[in-house]
Amino acid sequence: MTSFWSFWVSFISLGSIFGCLWLIYVTRKSQTSDVETENTTGHNFDGIEEYDNPMPKWWLYMFIITCFFGFAYYIIYPGLGNFKGVADWTSTGQWEAEVAQAEEKYGHIFTEFAATPLIELSQDKNAMKVGQRLFANNCASCHGSAGRGSIGFPNLTDNDWLYGGDPETIRTTLINGRQGAMPVKGLNPSMSNGDVDDLAHYLLSFSGRSDDDTAAARGATMYQTACAACHGTDAKGMQAIGAPNLTDNVWLYGGTKKRITHTLLYGRAGVMPSQTGKLSEEKIHLLTAYVMSLSK
């Protein structure tokens, strides 16, 4: 941070401690005696009077010790702007030390898992318990704790795969990540809103949900010019580029007419982040097996 903000943070931090010490000093100075008396502050509520007695010394000493503890903390650890503290402690360094400690303690377990073929590993209950924790820490925020996904995030428990569900493809997805894009109005940006409506009816017709056969027939023609290059002439998708199958009634962003229309009008963009650099090869191997186990 800049020198100004460093000074400002330090001023507020130290000022808070000095303010507490000043408050203790003023409070003690206003006391007329160190022993308990029958004097009151004059406050009276519902027949209850407030005595004007000094704070117990043990309580006072605890306040003072707390303030000096704060000073010691700021000397040892970072907290005063750009001052790093005499211990040179950082949260990143603490995290790296804990990771190194965990790798030393558990690394051999992942090495053993990595030597096991994926299909065999996916059937190992103990390995899958470890894999579940990896999934919970790295994947559940998007795909859900049970891997069932949500709007915009694929369900990993079924057999519908955008890029393929074989072991090596799943591993490749984890290693390299994926980036999908559905262009606005497909490959025909001049498509009118009426054309979009016809195309939505055509897509709904695959699951018997279109209520306008004439519109669906017009949409079939528009599909071939705007969508077939990616999703195939039969609309069954193309896993090589992650284009979904449009005939199975499995929808990544929702399959209602409203959501399909929104997808056609505004496009979609999805990103699956690469786990390389975040997880070791051994952990990616185990996570691959766990994802395989979700879809049986």
- pLDDT top residue among 287 and 58: 287
Whole-angstrom distance, CA of residue 259 vs CA of residue 8: 50
> Two tokens at 27?
């409070």
How many CB atoms neighbour CB 236 within 10 A? 15
Per-residue pLDDT of 40-73, as tens digits, reads: 777 778 878 877 777 788 888 999 999 999 999 9
* 8-15 mean pLDDT: 94
Residues for the chain: how many in total?
296
What is the percent of the chain where pLDDT is above 70? 97
How many CB atoms neighbour CB 210 within 10 A? 20
Going from the N-terminus, what domains does the chain have, and what CATH number goes with each?
A: 3-76 (no CATH), 115-177+273-294 (1.10.760.10), 181-272 (1.10.760.10)
Per-residue pLDDT of 162-220, as tens digits, reads: 999 999 999 999 999 999 999 999 889 999 999 999 999 999 999 999 999 999 999 99
Residue-averaged pLDDT of the chain = 92
Kindly tell me if the per-residue pLDDT of 31 is higher than 70. Answer: no
Q: Are 220 and 247 in contact (CB under 8 A)?
A: no
- pLDDT for 258: 96
Helix, coil or strand: residue 280: coil
Residue 270 CA to chain centroid, in angstroms?
A: 15
- pLDDT for 33: 60
pTM over 0.75: no
- Please provide the DSSP assignment of 83-103 as one string: B--TT---HHHHHHHHHHHHH
Q: pLDDT-based confidence at 32, cuts 50/70/90?
A: low
> Two tokens at 211?
């209520």
Q: Which residues, in sequence order, are bridge partners of residue 198?
A: none
Q: Are 276 and 178 in contact (CB under 8 A)?
A: no
